[in-house]
Amino acid sequence: MTDSIYIPAIAGDGSLYPIEKMQAHLDGQLHLAVSVFVFDGDLLLIQKRASTKYHCAGLWANTCCTHPHWEETVEDCAERRLSEELGFSVPLTRHQTVEYAADVGQGLKEHERVTLFSAQVDSRALEIAPVKGEVEETRWIGPRELMREVRERPQDFTPWFRIYLQRFPGLSFAEAA
């Protein structure tokens, strides 16, 4: 499945404590996460998760997302994961933090407090190098086409991405910051 990676879980009193990533997903324990959205104008870079991922394999998601390692800042985490999954680095803008819970299949649950990040880039100048085992495919998509695809084939998209689209239908994180 996965190596033992410890991520920050959130206790009832709001304090953080380390928990093994897979245990957090088995228990549905509230934990920290980041989600990155890279835009070229109103086009969003989305990724198809690798077919070998331990959950939501082969589904479309936002540009990238993950969990901070124990004692890693959310900013460092977002930058690290963008490079680890897509092979590039760009300046990121931090936005609000949202919380959601979702069943992600195979007896696993996400219950995340997610800090959202975005970037504006020129896609013609961006070299995307998807990392095998993480990302199967990438593409740029406009808001209308994305919403149409999610409406017609919701099963092709990760639960968290569908939740983000419901909460932020314009994908305009800058206005909500």
Report the candidate in 176, 141, 175 with the shortest Cα–Cα distance to residue 61. Answer: 141
- Strands 16-20 vs 6-10: parallel, antiparallel or unpaired: antiparallel
Distance CA 3, CA 9 (A): 17
pLDDT score at 171: 53
- Strands 93-105 vs 43-49: parallel, antiparallel or unpaired: unpaired
pTM of the model: 0.92
Q: Is residue 110 marked as binding? A: yes
pLDDT score at 96: 87
Q: Encode burial over 20-58: b for 16+ CB neighbours within 10 A, e otherwise.
A: bbbebbeeebbbbbbbbbbbbeebbbbbbbbeebebbee
Kindly name the residue from 65, 79, 134, 136 that is annotated as catalytic: 65
Which pLDDT tens digit goes with each residue over 67-78?
999 999 999 999
Q: Is residue 99 marked as binding? A: no
Q: Is residue 31 marked as binding? A: yes
Which homologous superfamily does the CATH classification assign to the domain defined by 6-170? Answer: Nucleoside Triphosphate Pyrophosphohydrolase (3.90.79.10)
Domain boundaries, the chain: 6-170
Q: Is residue 112 marked as binding? A: yes
The verdict on whether 65 is a catalytic residue reads: yes
Q: What is the pLDDT along the chain (177 residues), one digit of tens a residue?
A: 446 899 999 999 999 999 999 999 999 999 999 999 999 999 999 999 999 998 999 999 999 999 999 999 999 999 999 999 999 999 999 998 999 999 998 899 999 999 999 999 999 999 999 999 999 999 999 988 998 999 999 999 999 999 988 886 555 543 333
Burial class (CB in 10 A: 0-12, 13-18, 19+), 122: exposed
Report the candidate in 35, 38, 37, 34 with the shortest Cα–Cα distance to residue 127. Answer: 38
Q: Is residue 85 marked as binding? A: yes
Contact 50, 134 (CB under 8 A): yes
The verdict on whether 137 is a catalytic residue reads: no
Distance CA 101, CA 27 (A): 12
pLDDT score at 4: 83
pLDDT score at 177: 31
Kindly name the residue from 56, 64, 79, 112 that is annotated as catalytic: 112
Q: Is residue 95 marked as binding? A: no
